[in-house]
Amino acid sequence: MNHAPQVTFEIQAECPITRARAGVLHTAHGDIETPVFMPVGTQATVKGLSQRDLAEDLDVRILLGNTYHLYLRPGHELIQRLGGLHRFMSWPRAILTDSGGFQVFSLSGIRKITEQGVVFHSHLNGDPHTFTPESTVDVQLAFGSDILMALDECPEYPVSHEYARQAMRRTVRWARAGYAHYAQRMAGMETRHALFPIVQGSMYADLRRECCAELVNLDADGYAIGGLSVGEPRPLSLEMVEAAEPLLPRHRPRYAMGVGMPDELAEYVARGVDMMDCVLPSRNARNGYLFTSEGRVIIKHARYKEDPGPLDPNCPCYTCRTYSRAYLRHLFQAGEILYASLATRHNLQRYLDIMRRMRHAILLGEFPKYLDSVRSASAQLE
Ligand SMILES: [Zn+2]
């Protein structure tokens, strides 16, 4: 594929022992220090947080939006008419959108997979729709995303080797078709938009390797590893990253989709992952499950009823600086809206802090030490 890079990746330090790297991803909407965690803004919002919370308080540099949801409502054409997703949601920094494939496979009703794409029914009203490798590129270009994802088939877990192979081969063909269309659309376009293909292959290392070997021919600006966190045991997800990573070009960012718990982030980074996203910090926050530097806090527990201390004494976030555990518990029990906002703000801060700490450790050449401390801390909690 012959086109100018749409995002560029600069490696600043590499761990001499693990595969961890620290770098900067340059996009049309700003620079992003890696490894990076991308909060999920499913419906063009990180639930409960304003643009000011995200950009000014938390200093988030890149958000993830879900193509499936935004395509169905309010629709990509409406978003385009209103100036694209950045302007629509008043977000001046980078946006990555997924291809919609994952939600089609996990959320929508009856669906039919053909060589051309996937036919599905909206979970909102049952209307039939089709995503093709070409149409998902068009939808994401209408959003104006900085990073687009190629349409992929994400099989459930477990599946047979034979089915996983068919789905992986289809994903490769779709990536090629999507790329050809993308190259045409980009010719003469003045704004910058990268397209990342997605490595699939279920939990079979040979298929993951085969998929990488095909996808690197696209010479993409970055590569995603998908099909993780679909119910498989955690060691398997890490094994799949290990299978893929050595085959991916060193100077392009790698994005592990949909991972993980706080103590898993270092495991992915140790395996050469630069970008991650997950709904856990925001979803768990709303459900009363908070991540702190001292382990998890289930805020509804009676032990916090009269606890005047901060949620996490080591956390610099607005929630921890301002409110007590007792007050947060009260808000949660009362079903108050403010609870979701304060809790999400804290959980995201926790994830972002972990990423910053890892980046710092890689730059100082101390990542192996950091990894050891995370491993022994999580072993103690178990
Ligand atoms: Zn906090």
Q: What pLDDT, on a 0 to 100 scale, did the predictor assign at position 329?
A: 98
* Cα(364) to centroid(ligand 1), Å: 26
- What is the secondary structure of 93-116 as a DSSP string? SEEEE--SHHHHHHT-SS-EE-SS
pLDDT of 233 > 70? The answer is yes
Q: What pLDDT, on a 0 to 100 scale, did the predictor assign at position 208?
A: 98
Catalytic residue among 221, 277, 312, 353: 277
Buried b (16+ CB within 10 A) or exposed e, 39-65: bbbbebebbbbebebbbebbebbbbbb
Residue range 359-379: average pLDDT? 96
pLDDT of 103 > 60? The answer is yes
Question: Sign of dihedral through CA atoms 185, 26, 271, 63?
Answer: negative
pLDDT tens-place string over residues 272-331: 999 999 999 999 999 999 999 999 999 999 999 999 999 999 999 999 999 999 999 999
- For the chain, helix, strand, coil in percent to 5 are 45, 20, 40
* Cα(325) to centroid(ligand 1), Å: 11
Residue range 358-365: average pLDDT? 98
How does residue 378 score in pLDDT terms, banded at 50, 70 and 90?
Answer: confident
In this predicted structure, which of 3-12, 135-144, 216-225 has the lowest mean pLDDT?
A: 3-12
The mean pLDDT value of the chain amounts to: 96
Q: What pLDDT, on a 0 to 100 scale, did the predictor assign at position 382?
A: 62
Largest CA distance in the chain: 63
pLDDT tens-place string over residues 252-277: 999 999 998 999 999 999 999 999 99
Residue range 78-106: average pLDDT? 95
Is 332 exposed, middle or buried (CB count within 10 Å of its CB: 0-12, 13-18, 19+)?
buried
pLDDT of 1 > 60? The answer is no
127 flagged as catalytic: no
Q: Give residues with Cβ within 8 angstroms of 194, minimum separation 6.
A: 5, 6, 7, 27, 146, 147, 148, 220, 221, 222
Q: Give residues with Cβ within 8 angstroms of 300, minimum separation 6.
A: 288, 329, 332, 333
* Cα(165) to centroid(ligand 1), Å: 44
Distance CA 331, CA 32 (A): 34
pLDDT of 2 > 60? The answer is no
Q: Which residue has the tokens 């009676």?
A: 302
Residue range 155-174: average pLDDT? 96
* Cα(339) to centroid(ligand 1), Å: 13
Q: Give residues with Cβ within 8 angstroms of 190, minimum separation 6.
A: none
Residue range 145-152: average pLDDT? 98
* Cα(322) to centroid(ligand 1), Å: 9
Residue range 345-373: average pLDDT? 98
Catalytic residue among 53, 98, 146, 274: 98
* Cα(380) to centroid(ligand 1), Å: 22
372 flagged as catalytic: no
* Cα(279) to centroid(ligand 1), Å: 18
Distance CA 205, CA 240 (A): 6
Residue range 105-121: average pLDDT? 86
How many CB atoms are closer than 10 A to CB 221?
A: 23
* Cα(356) to centroid(ligand 1), Å: 15
Instruction: Record the pTM.
Output: 0.97
pLDDT tens-place string over residues 35-44: 999 999 999 9
Q: What pLDDT, on a 0 to 100 scale, did the predictor assign at position 347?
A: 98
* Cα(320) to centroid(ligand 1), Å: 4
Which residue type is seen at 151?
L
- Percent of the chain at pLDDT exceeding 70: 98
Q: What pLDDT, on a 0 to 100 scale, did the predictor assign at position 188?
A: 84
* Cα(338) to centroid(ligand 1), Å: 15
In this predicted structure, which of 77-91, 97-111, 242-256 has the lowest mean pLDDT?
A: 97-111
- What is the secondary structure of 44-97 as a DSSP string? SS-TT--HHIIIIIS---EEEE-HHHHHHTT-HHHHHHTT-HHHHTT--SEEEE
